[in-house]
Structure 1
Amino acid sequence: MAEECKTTPPALVAGLEMGTMSGPLASPSPFSISRKVRPAMVDGVHVMLRLLCLVSSMVGLSLMVTAKQSSTLSLYGFQLPVYSHWSFSDSFEYLVGVSATVAAHSLLQLLISAARLQKKVVVIPSQKYAWVIYAGDQIFAYAMMSAGSAASGVTSLNRTGIRHTALPNFCKPLHVFCDRVAASIAFTFLSCILLAASAVLDVIWLTCY
């Protein structure tokens, strides 16, 4: 009687134990599904961050390069003509240079990402590419932070003058110029935050894939 009993083949038992059985009774692993879904989500967020960074850096750049104004300043009863232009400050020139570089970097990465999405392939194809993008995002984020900080110091000086001296507040007669510069600095820090978010996304990709 023992010989007539049908037993499960050893190969099938091994397949059940290892979870390699395929067919209508075998359900896909949730981990394998998430591995397929997560790259598409990461790619979408990656492209969105690139687009937002491009827009913010271009807006900040355009605001700064159009910052100029002529007016008159009252000093001890004398009316003095004053003229301000973004190119008069080394800090503002530094901000323009960094913003233009970040805009070019964001545009290049956006075009590459869009081309890869159109071909229906992953935006970040390898770990080597991810490391390069991660390093670039970090470098540009620190550069934008330093440019915004340097420009903020000059703008603060223009608004408050120098304490304990008779230097006036130049932003009173040149309020249009100062407002444009302030808005440009705000968009510069926004670009810095977006680049930092891109760097965090690169780290997530390097950690999970």
Structure 2
Amino acid sequence: MMINGQKLAPAAEVAVQLPESKAASDNISGTMSGPLVGASGGGTTAAMRPFGRKAEVMHVLLRLLCIITSVAALSFMVTAQQSSTISIYGFMLPVQSKWSFSHSFEYLVGVSAAVAAHSLLQLLISMSRLLRKSPVIPSRSHAWLIFAGDQVFAYAMISAGAAASGVTNLNRTGIQHTALPNFCKPLQSFCDHVAVSIFFTFTSCFLLAASAVQEVMWLSRSKY
């Protein structure tokens, strides 16, 4: 390298070139630690939280409603009992009805209690994550787990509601071609409690299905 007609030593030439090389290195390092890393972190957050906070609040609300309906179904069924009299061939006979006399009603009580416990557990987990501003569904494995649970309990509630509906319909219509009457006339309060319990049972099933649909949408959008 020549300056004013004089040749510099190799060490001086290196000293002149060194700042330029350092600046280029700093520029590359700044590019890697700035926009590239920031873009990668944002992409990971978006993948872990494919829905906004409103959708996560809706998920928590569905859990709360499912608890309310399943507890209501359980409460109305276990309070379904009544004593009265009924006329058969002109004879007045005492009759008593209670939810524990039917296996179908007992099945509905058991399933409703299990759904209430499942929904309460999921509500507590979701609420704790929501308050910490963490994703309500943290991973695909967690999404698959609660999706499977919601599906199983939804089908169980359908079967319990259908079984209880069959017994209730028999109580209302009686048995044709026999003297067995409509038991819901003298046992109106009992049948009303059962009917309300069945209504809340199917409502719980609908809410579980809605939660399962939301989890499927989460799985379809999430990459992790």
Name the TM tier (shorter chain): 0.7 to 0.9
Which of 193, 197, 214 in structure 2 is aligned with 1:201? Answer: 214
CA contact (8 A) 2:50 2:221 kept: no
Deviations 1:84-137 (A, max 9, x none): 000000000000000000000000000111111111101100000000000000
State the identity %: 66
Q: Which runs of 4+ in 1 moved over 2 A?
A: 35-39
Q: Which runs of 5+ in 2 are unaligned?
A: 1-30, 37-44
User: Distance in 1 between the 2:100 and 2:202 partners?
Assistant: 20
Match of 1:119 in 2: 132
User: Distance in 2 between the 1:162 and 1:36 partners?
Assistant: 56
The answer to whether 1:106 aligns with 2:122 is: no
Q: CA deviation at 1:74?
A: 1.1
Seen in structure 2, the aligned counterparts of structure 1 residues 124 and 167 have a Cα distance that, compared at 3 Å, is same
Q: TM-score, normalised by structure 1?
A: 0.82
The root-mean-square deviation of aligned C-alpha atoms, in Å, is 2.2
CA contact (8 A) 1:39 1:122 kept: no
Q: How many residues align?
A: 183
User: Distance in 2 between the 1:105 and 1:191 partners?
Assistant: 12
SS in 2 for 1:80: strand
Which of 65, 82, 97 in structure 2 is aligned with 1:84? Answer: 97
Match of 1:182 in 2: 195
Q: TM-score, normalised by structure 2?
A: 0.77
User: Distance in 2 between the 1:50 and 1:38 partners?
Assistant: 17
Give the counterpart letter for 2:155 in structure 1: Y
More helix by share: 2
Q: Which runs of 5+ in 1 are unaligned?
A: 1-14, 22-31
User: Distance in 2 between the 1:64 and 1:183 partners?
Assistant: 8
User: Distance in 2 between the 1:37 and 1:115 partners?
Assistant: 19
Seen in structure 2, the aligned counterparts of structure 1 residues 36 and 138 have a Cα distance that, compared at 3 Å, is closer
